[in-house]
């Protein structure tokens, strides 16, 4: 069964064709980063317009690269939440229109759930149960996936998401947008132990807080205007990674799960990945790190999760809309 997936929840227009939930036939991602960079963040209205302009071309390219036509597509999926309302509506409308035209089911997909399924595309043997860290620009979630479609949210951020903290600190340090990759690159030249930034809520339950850490960076720079920016970036990143990894491992222990899966844009962070590989080696836990292209927003993960959702729950009604605040679990 071949599913066409569409993702337009934020600033990436993406389409992909995936067979049987696991085999990626094509995955096309068109980034709007250049359009938003000069504003230092995503401008919702610009994002929606850019999606409208390019979504048909991206879908066409995904079909061509997969070597199929719409006649070969068995279902059409789109992320219907969470995300920016206008941006989501573009993908949802495109998917519903195509589904109606080719008389195939439409499947509305949760963006977080899609990030959790990215790892399944890379490892055909991977099956729940596992614990997941979904860590992106809008969310930081610790989720136990007991089975397909069965989730327990065990921790979430009480203020900024980890990616948001990366973006805000990068903007403050003058590193541009998006901030995560910029800090990741610069941190390689810095000393992660140079500055002892706080590890917020480290021993305080499974929730996260990154807003105070961002403020700590601002206060430090005000006090030490000549500080080496690479050291600040590396030390900030080390604090974020420390909190994410400590809580993730703790949740794995609490739930007695042996497998850890990560997803979302921040899962592309090299320090986070290195630390998790080390932890996997010492703890014996199985750590699944999807490749960078599957961590950041893409539509292959959308087509993948749609296959599981369609099998379990059937199609989504064409009367369904976009749900900017959609939750999981």
| Element holding 44 (H helix, E strand) | helix 44-66
The Cα–Cα gap between 172 and 236 comes to 12
- Name the minimum Å distance from CB 290 to ligand KG4: 11
Give the nearer residue to Zn ion in terms of CB position, either 166 or 197. Answer: 166
86 binds, among ligand KG4, Zn ion, none (CB under 5 to 8 A by kind): none
Give the nearer residue to Zn ion in terms of CB position, either 160 or 297. Answer: 297
> Residue 264 carries which DSSP code?
S
Q: Mark the segment that binds Zn ion (CB under 5 A) among 16-24, 32-40, 135-143, 228-236.
A: 135-143
- Name the minimum Å distance from CB 39 to ligand KG4: 15
DSSP 151-186: EEEEEEBSSS-HHHHHHHHHHHTT--SSHHHHHHHH
What Rg, from alpha-carbon coordinates, does the chain have? 20
- Name the minimum Å distance from CB 145 to Zn ion: 17
Which member of 297, 298, 315, 326 binds Zn ion (CB under 5 A)? 297
The Cα–Cα gap between 178 and 225 comes to 23
The Cβ-side half-sphere exposure at 255, using a 13 Å CA radius, reads 27
163 binds, among ligand KG4, Zn ion, none (CB under 5 to 8 A by kind): ligand KG4
Interface of this chain with Zn ion, residues 196 to 255, rule: CB under 5 A: none
| Element holding 146 (H helix, E strand) | strand 140-147
192 binds, among Zn ion, ligand KG4, none (CB under 5 to 8 A by kind): none
The Cα–Cα gap between 298 and 300 comes to 6
310 binds, among ligand KG4, Zn ion, none (CB under 5 to 8 A by kind): none
Residue pair 265/295 in contact by the 8 Å Cβ criterion: yes
138 binds, among ligand KG4, Zn ion, none (CB under 5 to 8 A by kind): ligand KG4
- Name the minimum Å distance from CB 86 to Zn ion: 17
Site residues, ligand KG4 (CB under 6 A): 10, 136-138, 163, 166-167, 178-181, 184, 264-266, 268-269, 296-297
Omega within 30 of 0 (cis) for the link into 82: yes
- Name the minimum Å distance from CB 137 to ligand KG4: 3
- Name the minimum Å distance from CB 72 to Zn ion: 28
What are the tokens at 109? Answer: 């997909």
Going from the C-alpha of 30 to that of each of 23, 47, 56, 299, the distances in angstroms are 21, 12, 12, 11
167 binds, among ligand KG4, Zn ion, none (CB under 5 to 8 A by kind): ligand KG4
Going from the C-alpha of 83 to that of each of 30, 60, 149, the distances in angstroms are 17, 24, 20
Give the nearer residue to ligand KG4 in terms of CB position, either 73 or 272. Answer: 272
268 binds, among ligand KG4, Zn ion, none (CB under 5 to 8 A by kind): ligand KG4
Q: Does 13 bind Zn ion (CB under 5 A)?
A: no
- Positions touching Zn ion (CB under 5 A) are 136, 297
């Amino acid at each position: 069964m071949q599913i066409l997936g569409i993702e337009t929840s934020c600033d990436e227009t993406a389409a992909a064709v995936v067979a049987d939930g696991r085999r990626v036939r094509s995955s096309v991602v068109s980034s709007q980063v250049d359009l938003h960079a000069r504003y230092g963040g995503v401008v919702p209205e610009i994002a929606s317009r850019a999606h409208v302009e390019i979504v048909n071309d991206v879908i066409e390219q995904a079909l061509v690269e997969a070597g199929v036509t719409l006649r070969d597509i068995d279902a059409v999926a789109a992320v219907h939440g969470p995300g920016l309302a206008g941006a989501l509506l573009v993908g949802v409308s495109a998917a519903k229109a195509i589904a109606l035209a080719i008389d195939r089911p439409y499947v509305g997909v949760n963006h977080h759930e899609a990030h959790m399924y990215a790892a399944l595309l890379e490892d055909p043997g991977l099956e729940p149960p596992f614990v997941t860290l979904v860590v992106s620009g809008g969310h930081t979630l610790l989720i136990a996936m007991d089975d397909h479609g069965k989730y327990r949210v065990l921790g979430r951020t009480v203020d900024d998401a980890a990616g948001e903290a990366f973006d805000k600190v990068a903007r403050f340090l003058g590193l541009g947008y998006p901030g995560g990759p910029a800090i990741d690159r610069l941190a390689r030249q810095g000393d992660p132990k140079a500055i002892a930034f706080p590890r917020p809520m480290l021993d305080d339950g499974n929730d996260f807080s990154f807003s105070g850490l961002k403020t700590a960076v601002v206060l430090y720079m005000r006090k030490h205007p000549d500080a080496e920016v690479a050291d600040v970036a590396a030390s900030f990143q080390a604090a974020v990674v420390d909190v994410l990894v400590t809580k993730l491992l703790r949740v794995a222990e609490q739930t007695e799960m042996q497998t850890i899966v990560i997803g979302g844009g921040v899962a592309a962070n090299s320090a986070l990945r290195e630390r998790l590989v080390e932890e996997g080696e010492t703890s014996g836990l199985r750590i699944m790190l999807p490749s960078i292209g599957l961590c950041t927003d893409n539509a292959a993960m959308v087509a993948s999760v749609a296959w599981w959702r369609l099998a379990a729950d059937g199609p989504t009604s064409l009367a369904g809309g976009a749900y900017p605040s959609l939750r999981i679990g």
